Amino acid sequence: MDEVPCQWFALRATYNRSLKVQAALQAVGIRTFVPMRRVRRKIRGKERVLTMPAVGNLLFAFSTQRRLYEYILSEGDQSMTRFIWDRVSRLPLTVPDKQMEDFMRVCAEPSEDLVYVKTPDPKLFQGARVRVLRGALQGVEGRVVRIRKSRRVLVDLPGLLSVASTYVPVGDLQVISDD
């Protein structure tokens, strides 16, 4: 019997419980990722920097479809987890490994300057396709965009979410062809 390869699946956690679902999936040995952002909040008169999910109900799991189905079915009527479906193919939405790795690397930057875009403006995708040559994001591929008067690399997960990195100098970028 052939082994089915693991893929990155996009999942929706009900009622902003993505961190709770992440912990439960990790407890059964499934690799997960929740995009996080840093925000400044005033708590009892003191300004604090908090790390919280960028999108309250979104998480990604690296597993087989069958194993995730088994997990979701094991939750029963109290299920907190749902697949996000591709409207064209009518299959659970998957993200290619390279795209997901680039997305996770950009999200992992310890910066409050990351920009998450849920419904991207078509103008954002008119920039050149590039690869970062140096720095913490070396090897990341995306599109050059200008957001908040700064040149950034936008990594897109079509139909889900995009994230724009912090400033990237033009000398650290290599234009690549659209594939």
Q: Domain ranges for the chain, please list them.
A: 7-95, 97-175
Answer for the pair 40, 112: CB distance below 8 angstroms, yes or no: yes
Predicted model pTM: 0.85
The whole-number average pLDDT for the span 60-88 is 86
Answer for the pair 76, 22: CB distance below 8 angstroms, yes or no: no
The sign of the dihedral angle between the CA atoms of 95, 33, 168, 98 is negative
Give the dihedral of Cα atoms 121, 123, 128, 129; nearest 10 deg.
20
The sign of the dihedral angle between the CA atoms of 168, 173, 175, 179 is negative
In this prediction, residue 1 carries a pLDDT of 47
Highest mean pLDDT out of 13-27, 66-80, 117-131, 147-161: 13-27
Q: Which of 86, 87, 82 is nearest to 95 (CA)?
A: 86
Where b means 16+ CB within 10 Å and e means fewer, 34-46 reads bbbbeeeeeeeee
DSSP string of 90-135, one letter each residue: -SB-EE-HHHHHHHHHHHTS--S--EEESS--GGGGGSPEEEE-SS
Tell me what percent of the residues of the chain surpass a pLDDT of 90: 35
CATH number of 7-95: 3.30.70.940
At 167, list the tokens. 């400033």
Spatial separation of the C-alpha atoms in residues 96 and 75, rounded to whole Å: 27
Phi, psi of 75 (to 5 degrees): -70, -20
Mean pLDDT (the chain) is: 86
